[in-house]
Structure 1
Amino acid sequence: MAAPRILLCGDAVGRLNQLFKRVSSVNKSAGPFDVLLCVGQFFPEAPDQLGELMDYVEGRSQIPLPTYFIGDYGVGAVKVLSAVSKDPANQGFKMDGLRVCENLYWLKGSGKFTLHGLTVAYLSGTHSMGSQQIGTYSQDDVDALRALAEDPGPVDLFLTNEWPSGVTNRAATTDLPQGISDSAGSSSTVSEIVAEIKPRYHIAGTKGVFYAREPYANIEAVHVTRFFGLAPVGNKNKQKFIHAISPTPASTMSASELRVTPPNTTSSPYTFVGKTAQTERTEKRPSSDASDSQYWRYDVSQKRQKHGGDGDDSKLCFKFLSSGSCVQGEKCHFHHDEDAREHYLRGACFDFLNKGKCERGPDCNFKHNLQEEGRSIPRRPGSGSANSNRSRECWFCLSSPSVETHLITSIGEHYYCALAKGPLVEDHVLIIPVEHTPSTLASPPESEKELIKFQSSLKMYFKNQRKEAVFFEWVFNRGTHANLQLVLLMSMTVQSNQAMKVVPIPSSKASVLQDIFTLAAQKLGFKFLVMKNDNGSEGRKLLQMQFDRKCSLFYVELPGDKILYHPVEENEKFPAQFGREVMAGLLNKADRADWRNCKPSKEEEEKMAEAFKTRFQEYDPIH
């Protein structure tokens, strides 16, 4: 596969006609290019320049290439981007760009995502010491980026608006562009974080000049880093504002290829900066050993409204909440809270969970409460561990006051059916144990018989609609309530609590379902195990016999006679939305891959449930 071809641009400052005319010309003469990445101020400097930008935002002018920007400040930025943030399609935990208009995406705050095989990290806006506003990043964004960058594998591209302070240190070039040493447009914060994440390419704007530094070696990394500072579009000194690169993704390179060092490579310009940053972080909290002093953790001891406890263990570990694991393990000074992680995965704001408040206010895309549609947060560890307490607080237990009864469509002795919250497609169903049970695979034989009846009835119901039913379950080994989703060959929804999920898909797509899941597994670095499921129950019996209850498990029952399953190891990073994302791609419903983007009102849910009950009545095994 050919390496992606990337165009880099400095401050656009609203001069989009000139920018995209140049992009079209370069694309025609030297392309095709895959994407344009813009750093520095993207919005205009004066109100009379706003009309040019709005022509693109409102669709009167066309953008020739998928374009991502981080310079979210300037005239019109607040108005345009506030509307972008409120767009339902942009809600949820989105790090791969909020869509502004066709071919234009805003990289907000900080994040990390994959683009044409390249791992891209970014820090948008300029640094803010106070409450976060559009056009600024906070210490929270910096800390979150550090946590995300701890994942294995190099970051290919790192985008910042500000230059890193000290980038010219140890540079071999003596003829530096005028103004490059000025402090304006430089940031020690960017220096610290770039020294930590060690990207292969670092691109920045705001200085008003073009500067391509010699590659420099990184401490504790085999690869070198290349820095590019880009000038503004249409600058008077005719400094270069467009630059092309074609980097091979690190994920496809061998160790020897990553180690290649160009002849003009220098020492790292940030050696002293890294030591200073490490010293400052060490002084902020106690350290158990030398390596621990280099390990970042989210410290908000002066700001958080305590949920209980006086030490660091009452502060939440961002790495654990975001990925489900922490390489520090028991050495981590911060709290690994399973309940908080579940709420984080359901859309709760990390700042709110960690501090009791969020400085972003209405601009934050995440929930600022621990209840949703009548569902309450499970108790923190130590506040009650009996099954009666679990049942009372669980979203799914029928005995719980938190269960959303208006979504329930059928109730048996051991299982009940309910429509999914945030359905991917119409008739997206959950099959849920009546009692608090961590997995349908842990159900006794009499319960299993009723489950099979529900599955058979749903298959018949969807078959009559020329659809196929796909069942899957994410068995998360944390004692949560099982919920088996029915994916009617249309898509699946994986929520943090277990249940069998059922989502309908057109019968015409059934033949490619296994291939799609296999490909998705390959991209995550694992291979599904395959099991025969001849009569609908034998496969589940074999799965129950092989299932080790000490580990987590994802499995999907395909139409026909196969079950795909994958035991998830304790430290393995497995996406909570894996099943739903695979099905959303199959059904060309990428905008509905996150269930939080698909939440109808309670009135709409009641109508959907009543309509399903009417259609399903003749198939319902309970009647």
Structure 2
Amino acid sequence: MSPPRILLCGDVLGRLNQLYKRVVSVNKSAGPFDALLCVGQFFPDSTEQLDEFMDYVEGRSVIPLSTYFIGDYGVGAAKVLLASSRDSGNQGFKMDGLKICANLHWLKGSGKFTLQGLSLAYLSGRRSSDGLQFGTYTQDDVDVLRAIAEEPGVIDLFLTNEWPTGVTNRAATPDIPPGVSDPFGSDSTVSELVVEIKPRYHIAGTKGVFYAREPYSNVDAVHVTRFLGLGSVGNKEKQKFIHAISPIPSSTMSAAEISMKPPNTTLSPYTLTERKAEASDSAKRSSNSVSESQYWRYDVSQKRQKYGTADGNKLCFKFTSSGSCPRGEKCNFHHDMDAREQSQRGVCFDFLNKGKCERGPDCSFKHSLQNEVDSQSGKRRSGNAGTNRSKECWFCLSSPNIESHLIVSVGERFYCALAKGHLVPDHILIVPVEHFPNTLSLGPEFETEINRLQNCLQKYFKSQGKEVVFFEWVSKRSTHANLQAVPIPTSRAHVVQNIFDMAAEKLGFKFVASKSADAPPGEGRKSLRTQFDSNRSFFYAELPECVTLSHVIEETEIFPAQFGREVLAGLLNMADKADWRNCTHSKEEETKMAEEFKIRFENFDPNK
């Protein structure tokens, strides 16, 4: 299938006659196009244009192309949008647009949906503290997008009305249009969101100028982002207000395709903005610009932000859904761990936040508080919560969600499985059979078995001419533990500690390192258990030559969940594989790889 063809438009300002005359002309000469996306003010800025606008809304004029808009402000907006909100066809949870009339859809609030195969996210309205019903976005809208940023997959298009602050930083082209540096029409919240969402295209209006920035690389992602600012319909300065794109949906692209960088790609403009705001820390790091040739690609500026419990009765969507909120103590919403745990068990956020859910039977989440098994005593508190947990967990052997075709060895207390989206072909997970949050707090009988598995894997990888790195990220919010084993070439073993140390330095901490070359097997883990506190998050790595690195993660610290994998991806020069979602295979391919590993591992498998 050919890629979808999309038209983009800046502020319409109610000039629908002029807009659709241009759309019809472009469609005839270069079409057909699949949709029109409008950013910036969609409604008129004076009553003079209102009759023309209402001709389309009320059906007297025809809208020739399916149109989606986010600029829900201007003359007549409240009347039109209120009527649309009350329409029975627009009730319920609709992220893909509320129908205003034939071929015209209002993207309300914020959300994500699929349009012609493209993953599209949006933030409707502008920043304002006035609390208006239409035309402004709320903190809830921002929280929804921050949670969406945590979801797997790449966002193809991100629509905002206002420009991100700092988008021209590090731009290679000197001739930036006049008015771009004017703070009017720029929003720092949009900058924060685009850093988290990392879309392939970011489209904005409001400033009234056309600006196509060079693509820029994203921190902690392999693909680039292209920013497009668009002029307003009928502007006197002749700024371009309509633009055509035809992007291939990221969901159909290979890892190599999505990681391609054009020659004019620059560094992210937003990392520079954030560093400037960091004062003394920034001064130290300004010389350590992120480079494509470096092993490590994390942005230090995002490292430490406090979490906290703020005033107010409403829950923070970001914290409840992901366990963290980058606004920390500045957040206007409640950071509630009990609500977070209920959310992990599948309870609806609206039910937790408001006590009810307007989606009713259309909602796929639970509308009752779920009980749980006590993690210390192992006794069930009430109901069948333990059973529910094992059904929802990907790693529990009793779960219907477990991908059993990846399992390569099963013991009494642990099993081994190929990692889904593996970094290298023999990337293995060591997983407890029971539902435990980490491997360090388990009893001696567990430790004996895990030591045996590690020793056998080391011998297997040695027979392949490789060394192995074991690592585990233990979060306070971890559900089912998995200790990862990644083989590396013997020729790279002598530098792996340096690479981990470089990564730690980039994030602003130092590993605690220990070496026990003459110690019996398992001595390194024994030392780790003395440092481990179940009330704190913890990362450790066991390296070749009996070196162990560990780091207790502070409450105020943001620690990347993919830290270990990112480091080893850099070590192996596999930046495009740093995210497991870029490395997925079909079930048939995974099954074949698992069977082939079992054959190679057979003589080393302690569970055969």
- TM-score of the aligned structures, taking structure 2 as reference length: 0.53
- Supply the distance in 1 between the matched residues of 2:15 and 2:306 (Cα, whole angstroms): 39
Aligned to 1:348: 350
Aligned to 2:187: 187
- Supply the distance in 2 between the matched residues of 1:100 and 1:117 (Cα, whole angstroms): 23
By how many angstroms is 1:366 displaced? 5.5
Aligned to 2:114: 114
SS of residue matched to 1:251 = helix
Aligned to 1:131: 131
1:149–1:197 contact (8 Å) kept in structure 2: yes
Q: Which runs of 5+ in 1 are unaligned?
A: 280-289, 307-314, 354-364, 384-388, 391-435, 443-474, 480-523, 529-547, 551-568, 572-623
Aligned to 1:198: 198
1:217–1:223 contact (8 Å) kept in structure 2: yes
- Supply the distance in 1 between the matched residues of 2:209 and 2:180 (Cα, whole angstroms): 7
Whether 2:151 is the aligned partner of 1:151: answer yes
2:121–2:159 contact (8 Å) kept in structure 1: yes
By how many angstroms is 1:91 displaced? 2.2
Of 290, 301, 310 in structure 1, the residue corresponding to residue 309 of structure 2 is 301
Q: What does 1:506-521 align with in structure 2 at a 5 Å threshold?
A: none
Deviations, residues 484-509 of structure 1 (Å, cap 9, x unaligned): xxxxxxxxxxxxxxxxxxxxxxxxxx
- Supply the distance in 1 between the matched residues of 2:305 and 2:92 (Cα, whole angstroms): 24
SS of residue matched to 1:243 = strand
Q: What does 1:304-453 align with in structure 2 at a 5 Å threshold?
A: 304-305=312-313, 318=318, 321=321, 334-335=336-337, 337=339, 341=343, 348=350, 351-352=353-354, 367=358, 378=369
Q: What does 1:586-601 align with in structure 2 at a 5 Å threshold?
A: none
Aligned to 1:208: 208
By how many angstroms is 1:136 displaced? 0.4
Q: 1:254 to 1:149 in 2, by over 3 A?
A: same
SS of residue matched to 1:155 = coil
Aligned to 1:607: none
**What is the number of equivalent residue pairs in this alignment?**
377
1:352–1:368 contact (8 Å) kept in structure 2: no
- Supply the distance in 2 between the matched residues of 1:24 and 1:526 (Cα, whole angstroms): 50
- Supply the distance in 1 between the matched residues of 2:51 and 2:404 (Cα, whole angstroms): 52
Q: 1:12 to 1:262 in 2, by over 3 A?
A: same
Whether 2:61 is the aligned partner of 1:61: answer yes
Q: 1:304 to 1:382 in 2, by over 3 A?
A: farther
Q: 1:376 to 1:319 in 2, by over 3 A?
A: closer
Q: Which runs of 5+ in 2 are unaligned?
A: 280-297, 327-334, 375-380, 393-400, 406-432, 436-478, 482-608
Q: 1:293 to 1:366 in 2, by over 3 A?
A: farther
Whether 2:181 is the aligned partner of 1:175: answer no
2:9–2:39 contact (8 Å) kept in structure 1: yes
- Supply the distance in 2 between the matched residues of 1:172 and 1:91 (Cα, whole angstroms): 47
By how many angstroms is 1:367 displaced? 4.6
- Supply the distance in 1 between the matched residues of 2:76 and 2:317 (Cα, whole angstroms): 36
1:344–1:350 contact (8 Å) kept in structure 2: no
SS of residue matched to 1:348 = helix
Q: 1:259 to 1:83 in 2, by over 3 A?
A: same
Q: 1:291 to 1:44 in 2, by over 3 A?
A: closer
Aligned to 2:3: 3
- Supply the distance in 2 between the matched residues of 1:341 and 1:247 (Cα, whole angstroms): 35
The residue type paired with residue 5 of structure 2 is R
Aligned to 2:42: 42
* Sequence identity (%): 57
The residue type paired with residue 348 of structure 1 is D
- Supply the distance in 2 between the matched residues of 1:570 and 1:248 (Cα, whole angstroms): 36
Q: 1:180 to 1:346 in 2, by over 3 A?
A: closer
Q: 1:229 to 1:338 in 2, by over 3 A?
A: closer
Q: What does 1:77-88 align with in structure 2 at a 5 Å threshold?
A: 77-88=77-88
1:10–1:242 contact (8 Å) kept in structure 2: yes
- Supply the distance in 1 between the matched residues of 2:82 and 2:347 (Cα, whole angstroms): 24
Q: 1:51 to 1:299 in 2, by over 3 A?
A: farther
- Supply the distance in 2 between the matched residues of 1:95 and 1:89 (Cα, whole angstroms): 13
By how many angstroms is 1:206 displaced? 0.5
1:348–1:368 contact (8 Å) kept in structure 2: no
Q: 1:295 to 1:170 in 2, by over 3 A?
A: closer
Deviations, residues 259-296 of structure 1 (Å, cap 9, x unaligned): 211122222111123447899xxxxxxxxxx9999599
Deviations, residues 341-394 of structure 1 (Å, cap 9, x unaligned): 4999768366536xxxxxxxxxxx95599xx9xx995488799xxxxx98xxxx
The residue type paired with residue 301 of structure 1 is T
- Supply the distance in 1 between the matched residues of 2:124 and 2:302 (Cα, whole angstroms): 25
1:298–1:316 contact (8 Å) kept in structure 2: no
- Supply the distance in 1 between the matched residues of 2:88 and 2:349 (Cα, whole angstroms): 14
1:297–1:317 contact (8 Å) kept in structure 2: no
By how many angstroms is 1:478 displaced? 7.7
- Supply the distance in 2 between the matched residues of 1:336 and 1:91 (Cα, whole angstroms): 30
Whether 2:255 is the aligned partner of 1:255: answer yes
Q: 1:380 to 1:352 in 2, by over 3 A?
A: farther
Deviations, residues 529-558 of structure 1 (Å, cap 9, x unaligned): xxxxxxxxxxxxxxxxxxx999xxxxxxxx
The residue type paired with residue 259 of structure 2 is R
Aligned to 2:18: 18
SS of residue matched to 1:125 = coil
Q: What does 1:575-586 align with in structure 2 at a 5 Å threshold?
A: none
By how many angstroms is 1:438 displaced? 8.5
